[in-house]
A and B are shown apart, each in its own frame.
Chain A
Amino acid sequence: MAKKVPVQVTLNGEERAEFVESGATLLNALRGRFGDTSPKGGCHQGTCGACSVIIDGELKLSCLTLAEACDGAEIVTTAGLATNSAMHPLQRAFAEGFAAQCGFCTPGMIMAAKALLDQKPDPTREDVIEALSGNICRCTGYEPIIQAVLAAAAASPHKAA
């Protein structure tokens, strides 16, 4: 029996605590223990980006992050972006821009895009490309995803002013 350790986090604004196996990745802990399956395990080796989450404001690959190292951290995943069932502008832009096909890469893409827009609400196409370059998509050819991120930026509230 592997040793279990307590991990307390703020997950999408909610305080949560679970026992996880010592050495477990945050990806497996989120999916298996915390019941948040929005981060996907596309490779478990840090090369596809499907597991991307935001930890204390920074984009991280949850498959390369130890769950126990996140004790006390604030974690945001794609499952936590919608507020009162209203989609986040990025989610809306992906949906309206036909930027998801199988959808498996989508939560990771949205996390990478959110991390970008949080830092740079007004990104250039090059910024978007750079931000998405750790995320693999096999279906879309990327262009619709790039367009969706740009559209979400253009639609974001700070523009309204």
Chain B
Amino acid sequence: MIRLAKEYFADQRDDDLKQLGQAFHRSDVPGHVTGKTNYFADRSFPGMLHLKMVRSPHHHARIRSIDTSEAEKHPGVARVLTHKDVPHNVYTILILIQIGPEDEQVLAADKVRWKGEAVVAVLADSERAAQEAAAKVKVDYEVLPAVLDMEAALKPGAPIVNEYHGQNYYRYDSGACRKVRFGDVEKGFAEADHILEQTYRSSPIEQAPAETTGCIVVPEGNDRFTCYTNTQALFFSLDNTSIILQMPGHKLRFVGGTVGGGFGGKVDVTTEPIAILASKLTGRPVSFIYSREEEMQVSSPRAAETIVIKDGVMNDGRIVARYVKGYTDAGAYSRHSPYGAQKGAAHYPGPYTIENVWADTYCVYTNRTPSSAMRGFGVTIADFALEVQMDKLARLIGMDPLEFRFINAYRDGDMKAHRQPTEGAALIECMQEASKAANWPVAEKYLRMSSYKGG
């Protein structure tokens, strides 16, 4: 299925590697095919407790009271945890790279801001007992108006989704959005032969790794805790846990590295802190593994996005101005979304050289499952919008869509909108090869182009 097209960029490579460039078999695969590979959940420990989460049934509600007394009496229940048990209950994961404010509760205290938010954790000898006891937890809610769409969220007077932000968008140092300003878009539009403005949308997407998110925690008896986890980032999870539990890092040991798929779905820190806390408070091993339903609707998906693109294009095929407004639906909490939204800003205007660019990317809060990273974070939906827009522009001026891309493709040395010169470009060569492979003919002059400077 794969073909290495060695004829491209041959002058930039020496193909004399011995151990690389070789299709060696993977050393981990014999374990996979014999069922011997150890994933975190392939361990069980005597006396292990199972954690089940009581979750909000409402998109937005005030919590009047939480009554766990019946659940605590349920046979097999070892402990029930509420926000009062969590040392540093309000957190945000990117605080580790100085992106605040802390805006999310480990266990909801006074309010829930999305349907599925964790409120009470129940620990019992068996999954079934934990589930049954969880059903006995009584939470008295006062339902509040919910904001489910980004447009409504940004309207003046909209109910505030997350008080820690004070408004329904993330405030960057640059203001309500991350900005890119390059050239003069208004001048570009004034000169353009045609202007096309279009809006693109996407719905949330689930990472759906074959193995659901989770961890198993074992108290080592010396006040240290070993957490077997399928996180995508061991120290990131450890350090966040350390903050949430106000527990020095040397008391924590995270073990993982062999994971049943991630796709961005396992970069949040949602199971480890509470499971370690439970283990500390009970002195027993604790397993907290998402059900498939939780993985689908509770774990953070790829954000829904709305992207508005306005382009000015000339009859000869040159795009002379591109204006983009991108909105990322973060759901109720930040998690990685402020990062993802600004990654979008860095990505515009796509792999094309355009002299006048304006991009604003917003991270918007709504009362839905917090979104977070997924394969292509900040870029996948941007590319959908950009590349459909390219197709529309080409057709608007009656040009072949592939040739239209050659005209605008970036090459080495071209200045990008974020003011970095292009290096190592290869878009043109990819398109040349695609033209051949797909039997999509383009004019000879495009086949002679090159990504190299002046090519």
Contact = CB atoms under 8 A, between A and B. Distances in A.
Contact between chain A and chain B defined by CB under 8 Å: yes
Contacts of A95: 25, 29-30, 32-33
A45 B295 CA distance: 13
A2 B210 contact: no
Question: A23, A105, A143 — which one has the most chain B CB atoms within 10 A of its CB?
Answer: A105
A81 interface: yes
Interface in A29-82: 31-32, 36-45, 47-48, 50, 77-79, 81-82
A1 B36 contact: no
Interface stretch (B159-167, B256-264, B276-284, B359-367): B256-264
Nearest to B42: A37
A20 B210 CA distance: 26
Contacts, number: 113
B14 to A, nearest CB: 26
B154 to A, nearest CB: 34
Interface string A89-103: 011101110101111
A103 B44 contact: no
Question: A40, A41, A77, A103 — which one has the most chain B CB atoms within 10 A of its CB?
Answer: A103
A149 B126 CA distance: 38
Contacts of A136: 208, 210
Given A138-B210, A139-B210, A103 B37 contact: yes
A98 B24 CA distance: 10
A82 B26 CA distance: 19
Contacts of A138: 208-210, 261, 263
A79 B34 contact: yes
A91 B261 contact: no
B212 interface: yes
16 contacts: A23-B128, A36-B35, A37-B38, A43-B212, A44-B292, A79-B34, A94-B29, A94-B33, A96-B25, A103-B32, A104-B261, A106-B35, A107-B35, A137-B210, A139-B210, A139-B261
A94 B92 CA distance: 42
A40 B210 contact: yes
Interface of A: 1-2, 21, 23, 31-32, 36-45, 47-48, 50, 77-79, 81-82, 87, 90-92, 94-96, 98, 100-107, 110, 136-139, 143
Contacts of A110: 33
Contacts of B380: none
B76 interface: yes
Contacts of A31: 42, 44
A95 B29 CA distance: 6
A112 to B, nearest CB: 14
A102 B33 contact: no
B175 to A, nearest CB: 38
Contacts of A38: 34-36
A131 to B, nearest CB: 17
Given A102-B211, A136-B210, A87 B30 contact: yes
Nearest to B43: A37
Nearest to A101: B261
A136 B31 CA distance: 19
> Closest 8 CB pairs between A and B?
A38-B35, A103-B32, A104-B260, A43-B292, A37-B42, A104-B210, A91-B33, A78-B35
A128 to B, nearest CB: 17
Question: B34, B212, B291, B292 — which one has the most chain A CB atoms within 10 A of its CB?
Answer: B34
Contacts of B16: none
B31 A103 contact: yes
Contacts of A143: 1
Contact of A82 (B34, B129, B210): B34
A95 B28 CA distance: 9
B41 interface: yes
Given A21-B126, A50-B210, 18 more contacts: A1-B75, A37-B42, A38-B36, A42-B212, A43-B291, A45-B291, A78-B33, A78-B35, A91-B33, A94-B29, A96-B25, A98-B26, A102-B211, A102-B259, A136-B210, A137-B210, A138-B261, A143-B1
Contacts of B37: 103
Nearest to B75: A1
Contacts of B125: 1
A141 to B, nearest CB: 10
B200 interface: no
Contacts of B41: 41
B209 A102 contact: yes
B65 to A, nearest CB: 31
A106 B32 contact: yes
B39 A40 contact: yes
Nearest to B211: A104
A97 to B, nearest CB: 10
Nearest to B289: A41
Nearest to B207: A138
Nearest to A105: B210
A110 B30 CA distance: 13
Contacts of B28: 103
Contacts of B35: 36-39, 77-79, 106-107
Nearest to A2: B126
A101 B212 CA distance: 16
A47 to B, nearest CB: 7
B263 A104 contact: no
Given A87-B34, A91-B33, A48 B292 contact: yes
Contacts of B211: 40, 42, 102, 104
A78 B34 contact: yes
Nearest to B41: A41
